[in-house]
Amino acid sequence: MVTQSPPRGAGTGAGPAETSARQVAGRRWRSARGIVAVLLAMVLIAVVLAALRPSGTPDELDPASPKRDGARALAEILRRHGTPVTVSRQPDRAAAASVPGTVLVVTRGERLTTADLDRLRATQGDLLLVAPGRDVMRALAPGVRPDGPNFEESAEPGCTLGAATLAGRVTFGDSQTYEAPAGGVGCYRTGGGGDAGAPARLVQIPSGGRTVTVLGSSRFLTNAHLAEDGNAALAMNLAGARSGVVWLIPGKPAAGSDAGEDSLSDLVPFGVWLFFLELVVAVLLVAAWRARRLGPVVSEALPVAVRSAETVEGRARLYRARRARDRASDALRSGARERIVPLLGLPRGSAQDPAAAQEIVAAVALRTTYEEAYVGAALYGPEPADDAGLIALSGVLDDLERQVRQS
């Protein structure tokens, strides 16, 4: 028995139209996969940055916490060297305990309210501000301006401040940097510390008869990193510079207080700004890459061939479904006028000009067997009352065009 193999595509149900649609979809995917890859890469970078960024915990810089981000080791070392450490979790009590001859260590400044900052501004003891926010610096360290973050792991003192020169090299990790005002001292500057005008990680200024020290990083004070390089020495030299230490680690403010009144730019982490900057750069690069494709219009083969009769039938079915006899009759009359006017020797623009309607009607009546009133009703008349009237109008228009051509 002889069997014939089925034609190609018969068993799969994929006709020429479906095959062409798949080819178009494939071309679109190939042209867009570069953009998709860039966006996925940006999302991956953002996720990695968020995962690598250390998150704060309630025990961060707590002198009573033995955890990695606590500060119990530093507090114990200070006590063993004869410097008492008073831990306060209420700003008003810390302000009352800050007397001449003490160092008030201010941590978690984002929890301080405006009233708390006013109390601390009126204290007489020295201040050690650990990674302060913009509001804390404005209230307690006038003249010190933040410059930006720095990601160098460690740095040399590069200054004449005794607490820094005795400690030597210190591992700060990610740190904020500051510009020291006139009369202030900046240590551990960026770029190796050789440039005296470079931003510093540690700034110390005299203010109101006391010394205010600003630290851009809290990492070297924690239990996990206190033993690295000269971290412990610098921490003891700064916190233990006087006869006593008042360590303020404020609790969370009550709901409705004015704590943490930072702007949106202050609240958004620096890594988020980097992500959006990278995203903008990526979008600009993709736009420049795609802009090279712009050029003159070129003809391109359609994925499928559609017969004109199918287009006409499809549009007619839409008109019929919506019972749009007015639109259908307008289309028939407009098309008939467009074809008849050149045959009459009239300008093409007059086909759609209402002012030329009488002239066209008179010219058509002279070339056909119909009266002017009948021709005017056919070319410019009202909407047909029903589908039968629309079909009759189509026949009349065809007959008008045929007679004009034959004349």
> Would you state the pLDDT for residue 200?
93
Q: What is the pLDDT along the chain (407 residues), one digit of tens a residue?
A: 444 444 444 444 445 555 656 666 666 677 677 777 777 877 777 766 665 555 557 778 899 999 999 999 999 999 999 999 999 999 999 999 999 999 999 998 888 999 999 999 999 999 999 999 888 999 999 999 998 888 888 899 989 999 999 999 999 988 999 998 988 999 999 876 666 778 999 999 998 889 999 999 999 999 999 999 999 999 999 999 899 999 999 887 655 555 545 555 655 666 777 778 888 888 888 887 776 666 666 777 767 777 777 877 888 888 888 888 888 888 889 888 999 988 888 888 888 888 888 998 998 999 999 898 998 888 998 888 888 888 898 899 999 999 999 98
CB 104 within 8 Å of CB 94: yes
Give the helix/strand (H/E) hosting 210. Answer: strand 210-215
CB under 8 Å to 249, separation ≥6 — which residues?
Answer: 61, 62, 63, 87, 88, 89, 107, 108
Top-level CATH class of 72-253? alpha beta
Picking from 143, 202, 206, the residue whose alpha carbon sits closest to that of residue 177 is 202
- What are the backbone angles phi and psi of residue 42, rounded to the nearest 5°? -65, -40
Ordered by start, the domain boundaries in the chain are 29-53+269-289, 72-253, 308-406
Distances, alpha carbon 403 to alpha carbons 44, 345, 369, 380, in Å: 73, 15, 8, 18
Distances, alpha carbon 223 to alpha carbons 21, 49, 52, in Å: 64, 24, 20
Q: What is the DSSP string of 109-155?
A: GGG--HHHHHHHHT--SEEEEES--HHHHHHHSTT-EEEEEE--SEE
**Cα separation, 250 vs 260, whole angstroms:** 13
Picking from 84, 86, 92, 144, the residue whose alpha carbon sits closest to that of residue 122 is 92
> Would you state the pLDDT for residue 312?
77
90: how many CB neighbours lie within 10 A of its CB? Answer: 12
Picking from 394, 79, 108, 102, the residue whose alpha carbon sits closest to that of residue 260 is 108
**Cα separation, 390 vs 233, whole angstroms:** 99
Tell how far CA 379 is from the center of its chain: 58
Picking from 199, 243, 208, the residue whose alpha carbon sits closest to that of residue 104 is 243
> Would you state the pLDDT for residue 294?
62
> Would you state the pLDDT for residue 188?
93
